[in-house]
Chains A and B, each alone.
Chain A
């Protein structure tokens, strides 16, 4: 399946890819993509990939050993977080 790009639309899409994915601007672009099903698939899969990267790059705790070494190098006494 080859995308049938409208150049003007594509330029707009490309520029707006840099905007917040949930922004009004992006939503408008998303609506415009109804006219170009292949562009919509591309855009939607890009949005989904960003969401997936957010999931796999979720925040983790600092490992205890890393934290111990940090306090040691700073010559500070480690405080209990809930103290």
Chain B
């Protein structure tokens, strides 16, 4: 079995070769599933997104023109499906919406340094859970940018293109996401008594 995406493999998948289609699923399901987990924050929604992405991709494979890699093409399908789900969740959660952090109020913040050992605490289950909850609480419009830029490590221009935003919008949202997460982490560390006075 090939582990690389080749024009022959794509053509075979397009022609309905089930073995080729299975190979594409094997090659990309982990990356799409992880994207789903990062964006949607729970296993069930990530699995739904994974299935919908491959169903859509295999149904529309004839429209894949080869202008980008197959991975880029299917990745974009996955992001769009995840965004659709996030928007639905966002609508359903209106009455429980999270207060947007006061990003502009940096001047009034107390700034304490973090101790060197923080990085060793990530194996601590409670600490890890607290961090994951912080990411869960990040508003979806900021989370999508943070996931694509900082976790999936896409460029600003690619992120802007996929999310249909301007590059400056991506930068502003990324800054806000990072500040929100930094401040949430600071709160967690303060609660644990781990901050350097």
Contact = CB atoms under 8 A, between A and B. Distances in A.
Given A53-B181, A62-B29, A66-B33, A18 B172 contact: yes
Interface of B is mostly: helix
Interface residues of A, number: 45
Contact of B112 (A1, A69, A81): A1
B136 to A, nearest CB: 12
Contacts of A83: 1
Q: Give the residue among A18, A48, A57 with the most B Cβ atoms within 10 A.
A: A18
B58 to A, nearest CB: 7
A53 B71 CA distance: 24
Interface stretch (B4-12, B19-27, B62-70, B77-85): B19-27
Interface in B151-173: 151, 156, 170-173
Interface of A: 1-3, 5, 10, 14-15, 17-20, 38, 41-42, 44-46, 48-57, 59-62, 66-67, 69-71, 73-74, 76-81, 83
